[in-house]
A and B are shown apart, each in its own frame.
Chain A
Amino acid sequence: MGRCKKNRFIQRAPHFHGFTTRGVKWKHDTDVFLNYEEYEAINLCDYELLTQEEAARMMKVSRPTFTRIYESARRKIAKAFIEGHDVRFIGGNVEIISWYKCDTCKISFTLQKDSPMACPLCKNELITESH
């Protein structure tokens, strides 16, 4: 049996659930599932223009592992682009920083180490954890 996958560290999960294709005549009923770690790899490498080494350090994985995740992400995106699949973002082996949500103020936020579990703007304690 293979060893368990180490959790990849992610700063923030995508704030939407994926992409849908336009004008496809033969709609596939299968979607391409992009893991959060693959999404983060594309974000770090191609959006924030980090080197793979820096990106690997941010995700707390080794450089070769990062390259593997990144490669897999590109293959999946290429498949979706060429064959016309919808893309959906789903979990994976990830550890995501805790973000909280306040429904009154319509904000998401992080908490400081010693701060109370309350919304920083309205001080309301009715907050929910979100990814």
Chain B
Amino acid sequence: MKIAIAATDNHIDAFVDRHFGRCEWYCIFDTQTNNYEFIPNTAFNLTKGAGYKAIDLLFGKSINVVIAGRFGSRAIETLRAKDIQMIIPENQITINEILKNCKQNSN
């Protein structure tokens, strides 16, 4: 399973970004290999439709799950159509906490 996390910065102590389409980085985590990488979001400062571009970018990497603080309505619509799971944390948490959680439960 591949997880994309909207990140505020490109290290694992960064927080999960509040908005899916407008974050500066995505952390992509592969639960099979336990590897992660950061890719820059090229669409973050678009005035409109940032979510679409971001989904295209992530879909090319065959993501199954995305995590962000908020999703725009069109992002939700597109992600549902592509059958990608969305996760919204209730509190502000760091990427590291999510990764730890995933690793713990895959063992």
Residues of chain B within 8 A of A111, CB atoms compared: 85
What distance in Å separates the Cβ of B81 from its nearest Cβ neighbour in chain A? 11
Nearest B-chain residue to A122, judged by Cβ: B105
Question: Within A92-109, which residues are at the interface with B (CB < 8 Å)?
Answer: 97, 99, 105-109
Q: Number of residues in B with C-beta < 8 Å to the partner?
A: 24
Label chain B's interface by main secondary structure: mixed
Nearest A-chain residue to B64, judged by Cβ: A112
Q: Does A28 contact B (CB under 8 A)?
A: no
- Cα of A111 to Cα of B98 in the assembled complex, Å: 18
The 8 Å CB contact of B73, one of A44, A99, A121, is A44
What distance in Å separates the Cβ of A15 from its nearest Cβ neighbour in chain B? 9
- Cα of A40 to Cα of B77 in the assembled complex, Å: 14
Docked-complex contact B85 and A112, CB < 8 angstroms? yes
Q: Which of B7-15, B37-45, B54-62, B87-95 contacts A (4 or more CB under 8 A)?
A: B87-95
Q: Does A123 contact B (CB under 8 A)?
A: yes
- Cα of A110 to Cα of B82 in the assembled complex, Å: 13
What distance in Å separates the Cβ of A10 from its nearest Cβ neighbour in chain B? 9
The 4 closest A-B pairs by CB, nearest first: A109-B87, A11-B76, A106-B90, A11-B73
| Chain A positions near chain B (C-beta within 8 angstroms) | 11-12, 40, 43-44, 48-50, 58, 97, 99, 105-113, 115, 120-123
Additional A-B contacts beyond A12-B73, A112-B83 (6; CB < 8 A): A11-B71, A11-B76, A107-B88, A109-B88, A120-B87, A121-B105
